[in-house]
Every structure is written in C-alpha cells, then in structure tokens.
Amino acid sequence: MKYPKVWFITGSSKGLGLTLTQKLLAEGYRVAATSRSLDALKTAVGTEETDYFLPLQVDLAQEQDVQTAIRSVISKFGHLDVVVNNAGYGQQGTFESLTDQEIRTHFDINVFSIFNVLRHAIPHLRKAGSGHIFNISSIGGFKGGYSGWGSYSATKFAVSGLTEALAAEVNPFGISATVVYPGAFRTNFLTKESLAISPNPISAYTKAQASIDRYLELSGKQQGDPEKAADVLIQAAATSNPPLHLFLGPDAYAAANEKIKSVIHDLEKHKDVTLSTSFKE
C-alpha cells in the first residue's frame, strides 16, 4: 500500500469537493483537484501548488483536458489511488420548458465528464491493481419523483447505473467503486453558481414551481454537514470492503426506504403479470 494516498477530485472549488480537498490536505494526503477556474480553486482551497497539492484547471467536458490532467497527476505524484467524480450542477425545469441544449449541456457535465475521467484514470488503477472510485450521485438519482427536476434526476440515475456497471467491471482488478447518494447538504448547491433554472417556466406547472420555491427557501438551512460527509468518504476509502451504495443523510435514508417499499409493493402486487410473460414449456 502506498502512503499517503493520491486523490483526484473534480469540482473542488466549492461544495463537497472543496470540503473534501481541504480536509484531505489537512490530514496529509496528496490531492489533485480540478475546477474550471484555477484562480478560484486556489483561492477557495487557500493555497498555491505544493508538494501535496496539485490544482488543475480542467474543462471536464473536453476529453483532451481530462487526459492532460490525469497525466499531470501521474507526472507529479507517480500514481493515483482514489478518484472522486464530484463535479456537477442542478438543473430545474419541466420537460416542456427545458431546451435540447440545456439538457445536453447538463449531461455533458453531470454524466459524460465522468466517462472522460474514467477512461483515462482506470488504466492507472488497473496497472496498480488497486484503487477506489467515488461517483457522486444524489438521492434524486435513486428516487426520482421530484416535479421539475427531471433532467437532474436523469443525470444522477445515469451516474448510479454506470457506477453499478463500473463496480462489476473493475472488481477483478482490485478496484472498488461506490455511488454516493447525498441528501440535502449545506453547500452552495441551491445557489446561482450551482443551480440552473429554466428561463421559460410554464405557469400551468404549479407543482414544479412550488418545488423550486421550496428548495430555494431551504438554501443555507440544509441539515447535512459537508464536513461529516467528507469524513465518511475518507473512512470508506480506507476500508477493505467499501459499500457499492452509500447514502448520506437522514433525508436520503428516508427517501431510499420509501422508494424501496414502493418498488416492492408494485413488484408483489403485479407478480402474476410479471411472471406471465415467459414462453410455456
């Protein structure tokens, strides 16, 4: 085992990514952190590049940028141990109101950027025969019944699904993968820097509007503590048998249980129909 571990974290200039970066550096880990703005990243973290910290300006939607970033990590630290795909943003708007470009841009950052990172990070982990990948989803990527958040849930369900497939794929090489489902944490997720709102709302969708109003009112009052979430990720990376599914927060726990009960109810209620679709032998 190599010490200290080298972490690669996307979306590190704010939110959970920033908290995790700062906590890891304080505990002596080596951290490569990305942001769209290098100055904003160094200002937020509170330090310039050091022997333990590599700040990187990366457009995650551009594969060449990501490839260059991973090469820089290996060049500076010699290896890579933990990858945290944290970058992403919220998109609120009904299916009618969101444009094709808004949705495609949303998927570029929340989903396809993860594929870009995995494509260039996994070969180093596979060569080492070890490593851990955290993909940050959301409770909205497990329970999707939130009016006005269809695009966001779609991206986060994609993150959850790709992580399950990833875990099965890389397990033979000694690599672990964990999909993280945070509930509402007191970060800047519900601020204009991290939340895009459709500029063309349709007045008929009163439930969707009430949903965004409710969440905006929650900003700064969320019960989730990002410091504690960062601690959980660090602890999970240090275990020999980390979870595939990691829910964070009592609200996430409650929502997940509600979804599971709903699925079991439908599964059992319609069991006869489900089992009726096979060829008769």
Active-site residue list: 152
If phi over 0 gives left and psi between -120 and 50 gives alpha, with beta otherwise, what is residue 67? alpha
C-alpha distances in Å from residue 171, one per residue of 122, 156, 168, 178: 12, 22, 6, 11
For residue 76, the tally of other CB atoms under 10 A from its CB is: 16
User: 113-128 and 150-170 helices cross at what angle (nearest 10)?
Assistant: 20
Which pairs from 48-57 meet CB under 8 Å and 24+ separation? 52/4, 52/25, 52/28, 53/25, 54/30, 56/32
Closest alpha carbon to 50 in 65, 32, 35:
32
Helices (H), the chain: 15-26, 38-45, 63-77, 100-107, 113-128, 150-170, 206-218, 226-237, 250-269, 271-275
Q: Decide the pairing of beta strands 90-92 and 195-197.
A: parallel
Beta partners for 65?
none
Beta partners for 92?
197
Which pair of tokens denotes residue 147?
A: 């009016």
